[in-house]
Structure 1
Amino acid sequence: MTRKHLLRPLAATLFLLIAAGFRVAERPITVYLIGDSTMANKAVKAYPEAGWGMPFAYFFDQTVKVDNRAVNGRSTKTFIEEKRWQSVSDSLREGDYVLIQFGHNDEVKTKKSYIDEAGYQNNLVRFIEETRAKKANPVLITPVARRSFDAEGKIQDTHAVYSQLVRDVAAAQSVPLIDLDKRSQVLLQSMGVENSKLLYLHLAADEHPNYPAGKEDNTHFSELGARKMAQLVLADIKALKLALAERIVKNP
């Protein structure tokens, strides 16, 4: 074999090693999650309740830090009023991501967190503009579905108005949209009235020490439900071909 022929495989190997080195050395980024209780980290006293942001954090390689800033009971309005958004905005660096999912508390008129439709959209636009100003990447997410079936076993759309507002803002601002409302409704419908209880905080009396009287909650997730919702979000990150998708852990 000639020297030229020997050098070719060596050159190819060197190229692969260099390419792999660049991938490993890719600059770390932070993915910020801002939203409400359906996304938030939970205290031990709330287990087995889980927000979908909890399992979501484990699906990325070592170049990604997931910083879950979602808080129970918050809306776009209260998240801004309490300076929680300012803290995220101040921390953003180029290449970071902000996943934005509100609506559960914005839409309920009896809550102090309520904000009207125009105000909700204005707040979403603010998140987008201030994220882009830092050369970071905003992603809008519609509010995840509540477990609500009619008498015929058909899933009900409980966020029709505010989910559509998110879709409208995403289209107007050319922002990637994860339609978690629609996606989670499809999942719930496929599981049916009874099996879908497994995704939410449904516990019999004495089934868990944190809930000795039992619990029937059709808004907040069990550990299984949180993981299923996180997987829906991850699937859309891939489908949208966001650069972030390249940092999701791949099966060998």
Structure 2
Amino acid sequence: MKRQLHIPLILSVMIMMLCSFKADKTITIFMIGDSTMANKDISDDKQERGWGMMLCNYFDDGIVVDNHAVNGRSSKSFIDEGRWTTVYNKIKPGDYVIIQFGHNDEKADKQRHTEPGSTFDENLRKFVRETREKGGIPVLMNSVVRRNFSGSKTAVADDDLRDNSSKALSEGDTLIDTHGAYLVSPRKVAKEMGVVFIDANKITHDLEQGMGKEGSKKLHMIFSPGEHPSLPDGRQDNTHYCVYGASKVASLLSDALCKAIPQLAKHHICYDVYVSKTGNGQYFDLSKAIENIPADKRTTIAITSGVWKKPVVPKGKKIKFIMLRGARFE
């Protein structure tokens, strides 16, 4: 009789152990970098996104993306402010750390500036070395390209690009690099230390050059006055991404990651449209996403997290819904 009383307890313990084992199998991708990667304020329908915000869309629930990138940070200031220590303390064996700096290491101020071939390289080595100390797997990327068709190799400061008073530069048809030797250091350190290297600069350069000087504007925070309610005065920003741009870049970089890393490829997914209440999708509103889908086009909509009202799909629209991160219809 006593043995029978213990059976429910034993089963409960076994279930807890199985759940714990399953949780431990989840892989975390930590992201460290600057504003081009960072999570953004989405209040009042703000349109800026870092590509790291969108990366979760391209992996199934076996992957958790933990984005620690912050606007304006260099490899130096990220360390000096204790942000790297925060990430280091969270890494567990089998996790990945994507490292992408350069935009702000180029800045002249002493709080952020590093030298390629010297202090910049040493900071990258530190991230790699300490990730491995925790059993993590480092991944080095160089900086995404700036949309610079001006012909000048001198970059306008990122902070200045947020100011719509900056006069538009005369543009040609060829994208010009502004990062110089800061693109070389991640590749060099990756080769030296046996780390996966993703040439994010070339990938985004080819994207923007392929779209051309006019088409590439759709990737960035380039809005005319009155074009969007959140930007009544408009904005001319050739560095930072809008919703479409961040999604496009995240898709391309996820492809590159999964090509280089078979373990991540097992979790790779890609759907037509993403809807999220937390700003990680192309839409906040499911009904709006459905409204914008053309009739007679087979479309898969991925819905992320939370409880959603089940929509009515108009006749003629062929839509399949995929629920991610615990999302469900009420």
The alignment's TM-score, normalised by the length of structure 2, stands at: 0.66
**What does residue 100 of structure 1 align with?**
99
2:129 is aligned to 129
Letter of the 2:120 partner, please give it: Y
Which of these residues, 199, 202, 205, is aligned with residue 182 of structure 1?
A: 202
Q: Counterparts of 1:63 and 1:242 in 2: how far apart (Å)? A: 14
Q: Shift of residue 240 of structure 1?
A: 1.0
> What is the match of residue 71 of structure 1?
70
**33, 39, 44: which one pairs with 2:31?**
33
Mark the runs of 5 or more structure 1 residues left unpaired by the alignment.
1-23
State the 1:59 CA deviation: 1.5
The aligned runs of 1:59-208 (5 Å cut-off) are 59-110=58-109, 112-117=111-116, 118-149=118-149, 150=151, 152-208=172-228
* CA distances 1:16-63 after superposition (whole Å, capped 9, x unpaired): xxxxxxxx9581111101000000000125821110011111221111
Distance (Å, rounded) in 1 between the aligned partners of 2:100 and 2:46: 22
Which whole-Å CA distance do the structure 2 matches of 1:32 and 1:209 have between them?
33
CA distance in 2 between counterparts of 1:124 and 1:242 reads 24
Provide the secondary structure at the position in 1 that maps to 2:77.
helix
Alpha-carbon offset, residue 126 of structure 1: 0.3
Distance in 1, Cα, partners of 2:227 & 2:85: 41
Aligned counterpart, 1:5: none
The one-letter code of the counterpart of 2:211 is M
Matched, 1:214 2:234: yes
What's the CA shift for 1:114?
Answer: 1.2
Q: CA separation of 1:171/1:228 partners in 2, compared to 1, >3 Å: closer, same or farther?
A: same
Q: Is the 8 A contact 1:148 1:155 kept in 2?
A: yes
Any conservation in 2 of the 1:159–1:181 contact (CA below 8 Å)? Answer: no
Shift of 1:152: 4.0
- Give deviations 1:72-122, integer Å, cap 9, x for gaps: 000010000110000100110000000011100001224731112211110
- Please state whether the residue corresponding to 1:170 is helix, strand or coil: helix
Residue 247 of structure 1, aligned match among 260, 267, 283: 267
For 2:29, what is the secondary structure of its paired residue? strand
- In the other structure, the counterpart of 2:293 is none
Distance in 1 (alpha carbons) for counterparts of 2:249 and 2:122 = 27
Tell me the amino acid that sits aligned with residue 245 of structure 2.
G
* Secondary structure at the counterpart of residue 266 of structure 2: helix
Q: Provide the secondary structure at the position in 2 that maps to 1:107.
A: coil
Q: Which residue of 2 is the match for residue 9 of structure 1?
A: none
Q: Structure 1 CA distance, aligned partners of 2:64 and 2:260? A: 20
Where 2:65 maps in the other structure, the secondary structure is strand
RMSD: 2.0
**Identity of paired residues, percent?**
42
Counterpart CA distance in 1 for 2:84 and 2:180 is 25
Distance, in Å, in 1 between the alignment partners of 2:261 and 2:39 is 27
AA of the residue aligned to 1:182: K
| Matched position secondary structure for 1:247 | coil
Number of aligned residues: 230
Aligned to 1:209, the other structure's residue is in SS state coil
Q: CA deviation at 1:210?
A: 2.4
Distance 1:103 1:189 in 2: 21
Structure ranking higher on relative contact order (CA contacts 8 Å, 6+ apart):
1
Q: State the AA in 2 paired with 1:99.
A: I
Task: Find the aligned partners of 2:266 and 2:125 in 1 and give their Cα distance.
Answer: 27
Contact preservation (8 Å) 2:172, 2:213: no
Cα distance, 1:160 vs structure 2: 2.1
